[in-house]
Amino acid sequence: MAIYNNMQIGKPSYKICPHCWKINQYHRGPFFIHYFGLTVWSDGETFEELPSRIKTKLQKCHSCNKFYWFEQKLGGMSSDDYEKAVKHYQYKYSKKSIVNLFFNRRNKRRLLYLRLKIIQSYNDAIREHPLNNSKSKKIIISESERRIFEENVKLLISLLNELKSNDHLLLSELHRYLGDFEKAKEEIDKVEDDNIKKQILGEIQAKNRDVITLNSH
């Protein structure tokens, strides 16, 4: 079977945009496909054998370009989309309303999701896709991009401490990206998987601040 970049599998479904009522077409994930060649990265990102199959919990309307929460679609969002979305929702959730009060925790979980996506898409600039045949990407990251990244890392750390303080691997990684190696070590010491612990400790010792692939698969 040939694999194309924009290959979409299965019949499309439709979802009405809650902003402009346009009916957007989307594809559900091809759950029947057997995964192999999975690569797991230390920021939680995974690469599978089909590079075009990206799932996201957030959608952007094809017509009005506004965002709405809806899971499972083929085709992802760009890092710009995620940055715009996080600004949009941060503002929306900061308003004092009964709804925001009621959904306070859910809103924070959504911001956590978006900030993690921003970090993962930043890391995409330096990671190599396993199907790339190690054709290395030579992308130069600007200082302002790095600043946005680090700002997101810090905000994500505080969201994690509040909502998922037992995600010690991710917390350790975030501190490592910031160059805060002592805190990174503190967190990784709490991870139970000895293999992962050893690997990350090696990176901490080498003072590496980049995302890495995990050897556990």
The site for Zn ion (CB under 5 A) is made up of 17, 19-20, 22, 61, 63-64
Q: Alpha carbon 57 to chain centroid distance? A: 10
Q: Of the two residues 81 and 203, which places its CB atom closer to Zn ion in the complex?
A: 81
The answer to whether the CB of 122 falls within 8 A of the CB of 149 is yes
By beta-carbon proximity to Zn ion, the closer residue of 20 and 54 is 20
Q: How far is the CB of 70 from Zn ion (least distance, A)?
A: 12
Helix 168-178 with 143-163: angle, nearest 10 deg: 150
CB of 106 to Zn ion, least distance (A): 22
Nearer to Zn ion, 38 or 64 (CB): 64
Give least dist CB 162 to Zn ion, A: 32
Task: Say if CB 19 and CB 4 are below 8 A apart.
Answer: no
CB of 71 to Zn ion, least distance (A): 17
Contact 123/82 with Cβ under 8 angstroms?
no
Q: What is the dihedral of CA 197, 156, 52, 65, to 10 degrees?
A: 180
Quick one: 22 or 55, whose CB is closer to Zn ion? 22
Cα angle 184, 194, 122 (rounded to 5 degrees) comes to: 45
Structure tokens at 15: 């979802």
Q: Choose between 69 and 102: whose C-beta lies nearer to Zn ion.
A: 69
**Minimum gap (Å) between residue 25 Cβ and Zn ion:** 13
